[in-house]
Amino acid sequence: MVRVKRLAADDARLLDPNAPEWRSLPAESVTLSPTPLISQPSLYVQATWKEKPYGLTQQALVKAAHNGSAVFFHLAWGDATKDSEIKDTDHFTDAAAVLFPVKDDAPLTSMGSADQPVNAWYWRPDFEEPASITARGTGTTVRHLSAGLKAGASFGDGGWSVVISRALGSPNGSTVTLRPGQSGRVAFAVWQGSNQERGGLKAVTLEWQPLEVEG
């Protein structure tokens, strides 16, 4: 259960993953597992990663808050190396995402379906702002920049702490609605760049987590 607690703090404070306001909140430990190999749409990926471990991140600590105007998800996970920019042709950055069903009933491990889209807030350390991504099945993701998403990130203590944020309500037709007092569902994903994780090669919550936004 991920509870989005109402906090009286301004956006700038809550965007800082190290802000004291976050320390007062209990963290929900979320188990992450590799996305099943069989669900990778590319046979090349299936053949190449059959013996190679991926989705190495096993756990994330999740906190969530809102201040009446915006909602903030605080994710923390372990990563031995800080991969914050693409340094070589064979190098990838770390990344994380928060996923929502646009309407209540969307399948998770297939990234939605044709008539049941999902919406992700995708953070990358080398993006100026997180991307809002809609998907109607694996391999169909569409990225929208300038979606009003914001993030704050810090690397230390053997891992990342990242806050991803968006205005409450429903800023845009193709994205999820989040309002105080509402319950819904949420899922999480983490990519380890040092393991060449990208696209479908990631660690995810295999099931939707219940989400409650405090009134």
Partner 1 sequence: MVFDMNKCLGCQTCTIACKTLWTDEEGMDYMWWNIVSTMPGQGTPRGWQEMGGGFRDGNANPSRLPKLQEFGAAWEFNYEDVLYGGQGTNQYLRPKDGDASWGPLWDEDQASGDYPNSYFFYLQMICMHCTDPACLAACPRQAIYKRVDDGIVLIDQERCNGYRFCMEACPYKRIYFNQARQVAQKCILCYPRLEQGVAPACFRQCPGRVRFIGYLDDENSAVHKLVNVWQVALRLHPEAGTQPNVYYVPPLSPPKFDENGDAIEGSERIPREYLESLFGPDVHRVLSVLKAEIQKTRAGEKSEMLDTLIAYEWKSMFGGFTRDPGTLDRSP
Residues that bind partner 1 (CB under 8 A): 40-48, 86, 88-90, 138-141, 143, 196, 198-200
Nearer to partner 1, 103 or 198 (CB): 198
- Spatial contact of 200 and 207, defined as CB atoms under 8 Å apart: no
Element (H or E) spanning 165, and its range? strand 159-167
Nearer to partner 1, 42 or 183 (CB): 42
For residues 86-99, one letter each, b for 16 or more C-beta atoms within 10 angstroms of the residue's C-beta and e for the rest, the string is eeeeeebbbbbbbb
> 130: which 2 tokens?
């997180």
Nearer to partner 1, 46 or 84 (CB): 46
Give the separation between CA 83 and CA 116, rounded to whole angstroms.
33
Helices (H), 87-208: none
Nearer to partner 1, 113 or 140 (CB): 140
**Distance in Å, CB of 39 to partner 1, minimum:** 10
Helices (H), 11-97: 11-14, 20-23, 43-48
The structure tokens 């702490």 sit at 161
**Distance in Å, CB of 67 to partner 1, minimum:** 33
Nearer to partner 1, 51 or 157 (CB): 51
- Spatial contact of 35 and 170, defined as CB atoms under 8 Å apart: no
**Distance in Å, CB of 105 to partner 1, minimum:** 24
**Distance in Å, CB of 144 to partner 1, minimum:** 12
**Distance in Å, CB of 147 to partner 1, minimum:** 16
